[in-house]
Amino acid sequence: MKKHIAFFFMLILSAGICGAQDSLQQDIPVHDPVMTRQDGIYYLFATGNGISCWSSKDMKNWKKEKPVFSAPPAWAVQAVPGFKGHIWAPDIFYFNGLYHLYYSISTFGKNRSCIGLATNKTLHPASPDYQWTDHGKIIESVPGRDEWNAIDPNLVLDENQQPWLTFGSFWNGLKLVKLSDNAQEIAQYPQRWYTIASAPQHQPGDEPAATNKAIEAPFIFKKGNYYYLFASYDYCCKAEKSTYKMRVGRSEQLTGPYLDKDQKPMTKGGGSLILEGDTQWYGVGHNAVCTFDGKDFLIFHGYDASDKGRSKLRIEELTWDTSNWPSVKSK
């Protein structure tokens, strides 16, 4: 009898282990990923209904967590006609004892958009302190008033640890604005908006209707004496027709000017190529840069040529040359 009980217990345990393994995926479908780490657990946030969230212990095997929002924020539904809860391009940053999650509210091809903010004491869902507090709208863009698009936020600190927010997509390019000390609103004095990159080669037929060609997803990463501005160019979201690629420039000042390797300003269409599509990936882009255990990683999505152009998570280590320019580390 004891043997039967022991065998039955082993079956239950094995089923539990298999179930846990089945909940982990290596090839996860994401758009616009950003990552951080708390207590040895990696957390990834991405575009999705309510903001998609995944966790991992090794950056390889991922567990799907509950979305940040169980229902669309009421303010966002009112602010952006046509918004139904599919939230774009989040950014996560630990600041002043809180995790700040900036996110994008919009509809495709329109610049009636908003950037919102939610905060949390912890990213561990099992913690009693786990609760997202939504602070609502931080920045908005209005058609006919603004020639920029309030999506794709990224928080960055200047040399005085003052928070700034960079953002933007299409129209007249990527913007940068100073935030208040608590990073929850635009700093009122002085309030100045900087254009840090654009792609001013507009051709008839470009989409969406915009002043410039495709540029979006700014991410600023400080290393050594430079601020590095990563941005995505050309077209995402078209499966096998995606032409997405990532470029970079740098500046000794947060507000720019950002220049590429040839000293061409990113406001004039400059940007040195980091990575583009190939026979395995139709297009790659919308990156974040993270440092874990002394290594820098490029976090982004690519359109998998072996899977009908579906968008997948990619993580590549960055290396730096003798002139302090980044590139994807060769495998």
Just list the catalytic residues.
32, 216
The angle formed by the CA atoms of residues 200, 201 and 203, to the nearest 5 degrees, is 130
- Going by C-alpha positions, the residue among 4, 295, 249 that lies closest to residue 12 is 4
Strand pairing category for 326-328 and 310-320: antiparallel
**Phi (first) and psi of residue 72, to 5 degrees:** -60, 135
Distance of CA 208 to the CA centre of its chain: 21
Contact in structure between 179 and 163 (CB atoms under 8 Å): yes
CA 291 to chain centre: 15
Spell out the residues 6+ positions from residue 331 whose beta carbon is closer than 8 angstroms to its own. none
Within 13 Å, how many C-alpha atoms sit on residue 181's CB side?
A: 0
Q: Which residues pair with 328 in a beta bridge?
A: 318
**CA separation, residue 13 to residues 4, 10, 126, 155 (Å):** 14, 5, 22, 44
Measured CA to CA, the distance from residue 91 to residue 27 in angstroms comes to: 21
